[in-house]
Amino acid sequence: MTTRSRGEVIAIAAVARNGVIGRGPDIPWRIPGEQARFKRLTMGHPLVMGRLTYASIGRPLPGRTTLVVSRDPGFVAAGVEVFTDVDAALDRALALDDVVFVAGGGQVYRAAWSRLTRLEITEVDLVPDGDVTFPPTSSREWTETVREKHDGHAYVSYSRARNAPDG
């Protein structure tokens, strides 16, 4: 499965109270400052994301190597590396840098879950309709390390709990 266990693999996501992270290709909210936080945290590090997440962004993000996971072996996009397997994308990203961010969508988060070492979550105080969800987090598996409260949302950092199953 994985050929590399060193380095940090961090999921970064905005998650509503009901676990929703998207409705189709769209995010069902806008939070001022969230994109700036995403940029600040991910700048200079590889980003692993699914094809639909990449399509919703529409281009490689400056200052970050973009690795796109697609089941379509013929998928190509200028300026990105394409993989048909999340583990292969993570291995490549970890060969580039000791800090890697997983930026969605739901299937990619789930496939990377056992390899994640941290979560950087924007907890959104909404319960929107949506069809893309983030995996549930439990205190058995994740320890909250930082919480920064704002009106209608909070920025929360989690580390994998020491007693959690191997990741």
What is the DSSP secondary-structure string of 132-160?
EEPPP--TTTEEEEEEEEETTEEEEEEEE
Least Cα distance to 28 among 127, 104, 156, 148 occurs for 127
When the pLDDT of each residue in the chain is averaged and rounded to a whole number, the result is 93
Least Cα distance to 103 among 23, 167, 21, 31 occurs for 21
Q: Quick check: helix, strand or coil at residue 37?
A: helix
Least Cα distance to 65 among 53, 52, 83, 79 occurs for 79
CA–CA dist 129, 35 (Å, integer): 22
pLDDT value of position 5: 53
Supply the Cα-derived Rg of the chain in whole angstroms: 15
- Quote the CATH superfamily of domain 8-160: Dihydrofolate Reductase, subunit A (3.40.430.10)
Most distant CA pair in the chain, distance = 44
Does residue 6 surpass a pLDDT of 50?
yes
**pLDDT tens-digit profile of 111-165?**
999 999 999 999 999 999 999 999 999 999 999 999 999 999 999 999 999 765 5
- Model confidence pTM above 0.85: yes
Classify strands 153-160 and 118-124 as parallel, antiparallel or unpaired. antiparallel
pLDDT value of position 163: 64
What share of the chain has pLDDT > 90, as a percent?
90
pLDDT value of position 25: 83
pLDDT value of position 3: 44
**pLDDT tens-digit profile of 20-79?**
999 988 899 999 999 999 999 999 999 999 999 999 999 999 999 999 999 998 999 999
